[in-house]
Chains A and B, each alone.
Chain A
Amino acid sequence: MITLTHYLVLSGILFSIGLVGVMKRKNLLMLFFSTEILLNAVNVGFVAVSHYYGDLTGQMFAFFIIAVAASEVAVGLGLLVLWYKKTGSTDLDTLNMMKG
């Protein structure tokens, strides 16, 4: 029997993986992947809770997040391509123009 707890644990594990990826990875592309994992971890949580309570709001929210994530990736990838054309690298450590 798969209960809500299982889903929430899965969501938590996915979120942690994403968080570690965001912190550790140096490649911008990998960073995007990690971000997607983070977002989808949240989606899993939303849908599971929504199903458990019988309230559709959570699932609707998951759709919203998917849509927003798609547009975010589109914009992000566009910027990434531009950055690659300009510097020839997608290494995160080269992105430090804002150093104070």
Chain B
Amino acid sequence: MEKYLYIALFAPLAGSIITAFFAQFPKTLFTGIFTSFLIFVSFISSMILLNYVDMNTVVNVEMMDWISAGNLSIPFGFVVDQVSVIMMVTVTLVSTVVHVYSIGYMEHDESFNRFFSWLSLFVFSMMTLVMSDNFVGLFIGWEGVGLCSWGLIGFWYKKHTASWAANEAFIMNRIADLGMLMGLFLIYWNIGSLQYDIVFAQIVNLDISTVTWIGIFLFIGAMGKSAQFPLHTWLADAMEGPTPVSALIHAATMVTAGVYLVIRCGEIYVLIPEVGMFIASLGAFVAVFAASMALVNRDLKRIIAYSTLSQLGYMFVAAGLGAYWIALFHLMTHAFFKSLLFLGAGNVMHAMDGELDIKKMGGLYKAMRPTAILMSIASVALAGIYPFAGFFSKDKILEVAFNDGSYLLWGALFVGAGLTAFYSFRLVMLVFFGEKVHEKLGFHPHEAHTFVIYALTPLALLAIVAGFFEHSFHEFTTQLLANYEFTLDHSVALVLIFATSAMALSGIAFAVYKYKRGGFSENIEQWGVYKLLSNQYYIPKFYEEVIMKPFTALSRFAWKSIDVKIVDATVDMIASIIYGAGEKARKVHSGNLSSMLRWMVVGIIALLALAIFYRPMV
């Protein structure tokens, strides 16, 4: 089985490296097909491993020693257990679809080959992240996906906004990574190892305050990667990247790495329920906070990005309350329908020549029926309607919140579910139905390639049926993860399910009803609430005024006053003294033997004088 592990891990890397050699050349279709094929191979290997792993068999290999100095020993080790194999299958499946989709989506891009190289490298980093059996390997993957995210958000680096967004994402993640590193240092300091099994076995022996700090620091890392408040602004700006990137990295895989970390460290968080409660509360807050911003946004991709943010909040609620398998389940189903939604949005965006304002679309159903159907499926799944995937996972999260007795969290998630349904169908209605605004503006939409549509069908299928795997999923993952005990009455649970479904349905119905009649009137935009939401609660503005501007001023001061006037001046002075001395002394080199001899004599006399008069202290 080790063979399959290595294939699953290294096939994407091989694709990336080989494709990188073609990066400078104009488009060669081969690179797209080749990398897609290798990712598919990786997917097949992951599936084989999924079948192989069970209660007693976990694949754990140590590829080689990596760092061993003194007591520190960190091998390159990989583990395929119930959690990582689920992540592997999810990641490779979505990646395969996204790769095939990108062949169509990027077909006219001059950097076609470079795109596939980055994308495959991302898959490799993500696989390293989920498969590593120690925290250092996880951190390497963590940074690797950050780097690839940077390269792909800023893929169209000639566009200023794109490179700005790439840097923003990278810097925000760096801030959070510092927290994560502190957590890793604390673990190493107190336990002396970074292997998962050793750490989790010994964590119970530690002081509770130390464990609390470890939990907090690790969660700070997770907050950055998963774009939780207050480090959330980068995710919406990251939509500057190509749409397949948004689907793969900023919806399905990378942003869920934070959730994965919390799930993986479940045995740490079990010991510190206060931190878990904080995680859950933050998650619930973000779930509503992000959903509210999605209500009014007019940018197709940003709406979906906020929706991702909100769903990540849901996952953190489950993870924070200790229902790790449910968090993982929602992570998986969300990966399917959210990437489907994004890729559909990519089709729409292409059809509209890159236009993203949903108010300028309308009535696209006629021109692009398959995409419309796929996106509707994804939206229904996102809204959480039976029998679609989102229903099962999201409903479970609400149940968990209720079961835990945190009715406030439950209330927030309940409202969030209604908002989710509303904004999803606001998007669908404005884009595909209603008045054909795009005709007036002179757009001629066309459907994407047939193979692109076919590539999306696996995701659509999973968005519909993934929920029915709930029981086997539960059985499979709880072999490793702590089980979550429901103490709710069956009837109460049933009432909850109906209430949530009713909430979601009414959200959908309201959106359909309202936008069928032309939507809200224009003067809603004058409302204070609307302005607050459409400006993202003025948080980006706040960051700019309070952090960026003073920091820029400080940097400018350090540059103009400290660096130029003190540091540079000192270095320049030393250089100019030596230079000036050389300028003066070069007269000695007249080439005239007599004067050279004279200088020699002077030297001899000086040395003699030194020898005679200088007595070193003995």
Contacts and interface: CB of A to CB of B under 8 A. Distances in A.
Interface string A1-36: 000000000000000000100111010000100000
Interface string B576-597: 0000000000100111111001
Contacts of B594: 23-24, 26, 92-93
B345 to A, nearest CB: 71
B612 to A, nearest CB: 15
A93 B597 contact: no
A75 interface: no
A19 to B, nearest CB: 6
Contacts of B72: none
Nearest to A22: B597
B589 A99 contact: yes
A46 to B, nearest CB: 18
Nearest to B595: A23
Nearest to A99: B591
B598 interface: yes
Interface string A52-93: 000000000000000000000000000000000000000011
B1 to A, nearest CB: 73
B492 interface: no
B590 A99 contact: yes
B528 to A, nearest CB: 79
A25 to B, nearest CB: 8
A39 to B, nearest CB: 15
A50 B589 CA distance: 40
A96 B591 contact: yes
B592 A93 contact: yes
Contacts of A99: 589-592
Contacts of B598: 23
A28 to B, nearest CB: 9
Contact of B592 (A19, A24, A31, A92): A92
Nearest to B589: A100
A99 to B, nearest CB: 3
B593 A92 contact: yes
Contacts of A95: 591-593
B201 interface: no
Contacts of B593: 31, 92, 95-96
Nearest to A98: B591
B15 to A, nearest CB: 59
Nearest to B585: A100
A6 to B, nearest CB: 22
B601 A97 contact: no
Nearest to A97: B591
Chain A interface bracket (under 10, 10 to 19, 20 to 34, 35 or more): 10 to 19
A33 B525 CA distance: 106
Contacts of B601: 19, 22-23
A23 B597 contact: yes
Contacts of A96: 590-593
Contacts of A97: 591
A23 B605 CA distance: 14
A65 B589 CA distance: 30
Nearest to A26: B594
A12 B598 CA distance: 18
B259 to A, nearest CB: 70
Interface string B379-421: 0000000000000000000000000000000000000000000
A95 B597 CA distance: 13
A100 B591 contact: yes
A97 B592 CA distance: 9
B597 A98 contact: no
A100 B592 contact: no
Given A92-B592, A93-B592, A100 B597 contact: no
B403 to A, nearest CB: 89
Contacts of B586: 100
Interface in B53-100: none
A80 to B, nearest CB: 13
> Which of B589, B590, B597 counts the most A-chain CB atoms under 10 A from its CB?
B597
Contacts of B589: 98-100
Nearest to A19: B601
A22 B592 CA distance: 13
A26 to B, nearest CB: 7
Contacts of A19: 601
Contacts of A24: 594
A30 to B, nearest CB: 11
A67 to B, nearest CB: 24
Contacts of A92: 592-594
A97 B598 CA distance: 18
A36 to B, nearest CB: 15
Interface string B597-610: 11001000000000
A8 B88 CA distance: 95
B37 to A, nearest CB: 66
Nearest to A31: B593
9 contacts: A19-B601, A23-B594, A23-B601, A26-B594, A31-B593, A95-B592, A96-B592, A98-B591, A100-B586
Interface of B: 586, 589-594, 597-598, 601
Given A23-B597, A92-B592, 20 more contacts: A19-B601, A23-B598, A24-B594, A26-B594, A31-B593, A92-B593, A92-B594, A93-B592, A93-B594, A95-B591, A95-B592, A95-B593, A96-B591, A96-B593, A97-B591, A99-B590, A99-B592, A100-B586, A100-B589, A100-B590
Closest 3 CB pairs between A and B? A100-B589, A99-B591, A96-B591
